[in-house]
Chain A
Amino acid sequence: MRRSSTVRAAVLGLVALLVLPGAAMADTFDAAGHGLPDSVGINSMWVVVAACLVMFMQAGFAFLEIGFSRGKNAGTVVAKILTNFSIAAIMYWAVGFAFAFGGDLGHVIGNTGFFLRDFGDPQKAFPIMGLSDATVEAKWWFQFVFCAVSLAIVWGTTLERIKFGVYIIYSVVFSALIYPIASGWVFGGGWLQVNVGMQDFAGSTAVHLIGATGALAAVLLLGPRKGKYDSAGKPRAIPGHNMPLFGLGVLILWLGWFGFNPGSTLGALDGRFTEVLLVTNMAAAAGVLGAVATAYWRTKAIDIGMAGNGAIAALVAITAPSGYVDPWAAVIIGAVAGVIVVLGVYAIDKVIDDPVGALSAHGLAGIWGTLACGIFTDPKLAAYNAVGKGGLLYNGSFEQLGRQALGVVTVFAFVFAVSYATFWAIKKTYGLRVTAEEEDAGLDISEHGMYGYPEQFIPTPELVGYGAAPTAPAPAPVATKPVSTQEVTA
């Protein structure tokens, strides 16, 4: 009785908080009444278009993971992507955006803009994004889809054996605390950006390494899929069931990256977004070629999955330097990422079961991309972005490289510690893994009660089923001598 009244009071309080008259939508709406400057409309338009491209990357992750899973675990990915995206939306609106960008408490965590309410002047409330005059709603949408991408990366290592509830519990913690705090340090005006001078234009560390670090924490506690390692500990291939879907996923992600990096300019009027787009594409192209060449060198086969992993790794690597380097450097950064991802997958597969290669493509490539800023950053672009200074190749100084390394180590340590603790707590209470029988049957039927591909698992006679019993028995067919066509028509 006492408990239920406390719960009721809490729920009513939350509802009251939401319906209280406030400045929630008032800023953009009031300003619009007086006529917004053209630049607000143009910049907001670009930020929203870019963010919608980034949202489409959810489809890319879905197809990539489905393609790399066995057919009995295909449908669960759809439910996971939709559920995670939705939880992240609620949490990032409620608290995440405020923690990441809402002013600064010692550049550690933000404190204004919860529920996007009562923040006052948006240029002052979210100081680091004051450089753009796009509306707050556009900026929120852009930053939220980044959070959703980072969360999607976490689950790449956990396919085909994790309990669905784990997605729900961890995604609340991730999108409310882990991602907002760590990404805020790197590109939300936090201490790594402001005090250290770490360069991360669009999130090689802040989005991709954070996701991959969560993925590492999860897989260490989760263990490999049943049958991944033989009795001698040698890894076996567990081939994904659909390479065409995987390829579709890769191309959707590549497309989405043209929102991810160029959109991080948060504006269109200086034209920088077109240069960032060029740099992004050059890196991806070099990454595919680097990965194909590396896979052929090591296995004498042009590996389809590695070609795709090469594109993803190069795009991850160019994410941090995309606003800081010139196109020639992008080709080098991408090609190196393509080599790293293939060798990384081979090495990691010996000890950790990572079905999509997320640790290599997002983790190792994310680290490489962040460090690459310390080597290739053009001093004039560092000055333009007002973060850090030029790289090793331009001034012979290891200073910027050191700052980048400090950023990588700090973010990895923070995210790994909080994620490991969260997954450990889940393991001790709810449990991380489905049972061996459920894993054999597949997550589609055991977690969702239905199949992604029913025809492959339900015998056709049972799919045909039976209708209602006929009211009168149909006359039994009687063998007769054939009737001539003329008799029938007559």
Chain B
Amino acid sequence: MKKVEAYIRHEAFEPIRMELLSLGFPSLSISEVKGSGRQKGITERYRGAELTNYLRPKVKLECVVADRDVQTIVDTILKHARTGAVGDGKVFVLPVEESYRVRTGESGEEVLQAHPDPAAATT
């Protein structure tokens, strides 16, 4: 099991979510984060004074998948998140020890993305 953790632009998220859903990966979480990288800050001008923001808003996408699915997930993220400009973000893959489904207490890989009919969730 691996956890894919991606820092991406806001507008990249929706296409990624839709494609992951169609591929059978509905389970993911996001959070609004602010961070800095190579992308330059943005300067706000307020009544003549300046304020440079080095921390730019990004979306952090997290999703835990079986080892064999990692490449699919990463490829999907790279495909939609890349604009070619500085600030597209980064993707990290981390090992995961164990996983449990709270409702049933099941554990292991079968709890990860087991959705019988992913298309049913689109409507």
- Smallest beta-carbon distance A453→chain B, Å: 12
Please, which residues of chain B bring their CB within 8 A of the CB of A451?
A: 44
Interface size on A, as a range, is 10 to 19
> What is the bound-complex CA distance between A458 and B54, given in angstroms?
9
- The reply to whether B46 and A450 contact each other, CB–CB distance below 8 Å, is yes
- The reply to whether A454 and B34 contact each other, CB–CB distance below 8 Å, is no
Contact of B45 among A449, A458, A463 (CB under 8 A): A449
> What is the bound-complex CA distance between A440 and B57, given in angstroms?
12
Interface string of B22-63 (1 = CB under 8 A from A): 000000000000100000001111100001011101000000
Please, which residues of chain B bring their CB within 8 A of the CB of A457?
A: 53, 57
- The reply to whether A440 and B11 contact each other, CB–CB distance below 8 Å, is yes
Interface string of A428-472 (1 = CB under 8 A from B): 000000000000110001000111001001110111010000000
Please, which residues of chain A bring their CB within 8 A of the CB of B11?
A: 227, 440
- Smallest beta-carbon distance A124→chain B, Å: 50
> What is the bound-complex CA distance between A63 and B55, given in angstroms?
30
- The reply to whether B55 and A445 contact each other, CB–CB distance below 8 Å, is no
Contact of A462 among B9, B10, B54 (CB under 8 A): B54
> What is the bound-complex CA distance between A414 and B79, given in angstroms?
49
> What is the bound-complex CA distance between A227 and B10, given in angstroms?
12
- The reply to whether B10 and A458 contact each other, CB–CB distance below 8 Å, is no
> What is the bound-complex CA distance between A148 and B6, given in angstroms?
49
Say whether, besides A445-B44, A449-B45, A440 and B55 are in contact (CB < 8 Å).
no
- Smallest beta-carbon distance B8→chain A, Å: 13
- The reply to whether A440 and B46 contact each other, CB–CB distance below 8 Å, is no
- The reply to whether A462 and B42 contact each other, CB–CB distance below 8 Å, is no
> What is the bound-complex CA distance between A445 and B57, given in angstroms?
13
Contact of A459 among B9, B14, B34, B45 (CB under 8 A): B34
> What is the bound-complex CA distance between A6 and B51, given in angstroms?
43
> What is the bound-complex CA distance between A451 and B34, given in angstroms?
16
- Smallest beta-carbon distance A380→chain B, Å: 58
> What is the bound-complex CA distance between A457 and B41, given in angstroms?
13
Measured CB to CB, the nearest residue on chain B to A446 is B42
- The reply to whether B53 and A440 contact each other, CB–CB distance below 8 Å, is no
- The reply to whether B55 and A461 contact each other, CB–CB distance below 8 Å, is yes
> What is the bound-complex CA distance between A459 and B35, given in angstroms?
9
> What is the bound-complex CA distance between A445 and B43, given in angstroms?
9
- Smallest beta-carbon distance B62→chain A, Å: 20
Contact of A440 among B10, B42, B44, B45 (CB under 8 A): B10
Please, which residues of chain B bring their CB within 8 A of the CB of A440?
A: 9-11
- The reply to whether B57 and A449 contact each other, CB–CB distance below 8 Å, is no
- The reply to whether A449 and B34 contact each other, CB–CB distance below 8 Å, is no
- Smallest beta-carbon distance B113→chain A, Å: 25
- The reply to whether B53 and A458 contact each other, CB–CB distance below 8 Å, is yes
> What is the bound-complex CA distance between A458 and B14, given in angstroms?
23
- The reply to whether A454 and B55 contact each other, CB–CB distance below 8 Å, is no
Say whether, besides A458-B53, A459-B53, A445 and B42 are in contact (CB < 8 Å).
yes
Measured CB to CB, the nearest residue on chain B to A437 is B85
Measured CB to CB, the nearest residue on chain A to B10 is A440
- The reply to whether A458 and B43 contact each other, CB–CB distance below 8 Å, is no
Please, which residues of chain B bring their CB within 8 A of the CB of A454?
A: 44, 46
Please, which residues of chain A bring their CB within 8 A of the CB of B53?
A: 457-459, 462
- The reply to whether B44 and A450 contact each other, CB–CB distance below 8 Å, is yes
Measured CB to CB, the nearest residue on chain A to B41 is A462
Please, which residues of chain B bring their CB within 8 A of the CB of A450?
A: 44-46
Please, which residues of chain B bring their CB within 8 A of the CB of A463?
A: 51
Please, which residues of chain A bring their CB within 8 A of the CB of B44?
A: 445, 449-451, 454, 458
- The reply to whether B43 and A462 contact each other, CB–CB distance below 8 Å, is no
Say whether, besides A440-B10, A445-B44, A449-B44, A462 and B55 are in contact (CB < 8 Å).
yes
> What is the bound-complex CA distance between A461 and B51, given in angstroms?
12
> What is the bound-complex CA distance between A257 and B55, given in angstroms?
46
> What is the bound-complex CA distance between A457 and B43, given in angstroms?
12
Please, which residues of chain A bring their CB within 8 A of the CB of B34?
A: 459
- The reply to whether B57 and A462 contact each other, CB–CB distance below 8 Å, is no
Please, which residues of chain A bring their CB within 8 A of the CB of B14?
A: 227
Say whether, besides A440-B10, A440-B11, A459-B34, A449 and B43 are in contact (CB < 8 Å).
yes
Please, which residues of chain A bring their CB within 8 A of the CB of B54?
A: 462
Please, which residues of chain A bring their CB within 8 A of the CB of B55?
A: 459, 461-462
Please, which residues of chain A bring their CB within 8 A of the CB of B9?
A: 440
Please, which residues of chain A bring their CB within 8 A of the CB of B45?
A: 449-450
Please, which residues of chain B bring their CB within 8 A of the CB of A461?
A: 55
| Residues 159-212 (chain A) with a chain B CB within 8 angstroms | none
Instruction: Name 16 extra pairs, CB < 8 A, besides A440-B11, A454-B44.
Output: A440-B10, A441-B42, A445-B42, A445-B44, A449-B44, A449-B45, A450-B45, A450-B46, A451-B44, A454-B46, A457-B53, A458-B51, A459-B53, A462-B55, A463-B51, A465-B51
Q: Considering the complex of A and B, which 8 residue pairs feature the smallest CB-CB distances, nearest first? A: A449-B45, A459-B34, A459-B55, A450-B46, A450-B44, A458-B53, A462-B53, A440-B11
Chain A residues with a Cβ under 8 A of chain B? 227, 440-441, 445, 449-451, 454, 457-459, 461-463, 465
Q: 23 interchain pairs (CB within 8 A)?
A: A227-B11, A227-B14, A440-B9, A441-B42, A445-B42, A445-B44, A449-B43, A449-B45, A450-B44, A450-B45, A451-B44, A454-B44, A457-B53, A458-B44, A458-B51, A458-B53, A459-B53, A459-B55, A461-B55, A462-B51, A462-B53, A462-B55, A465-B51
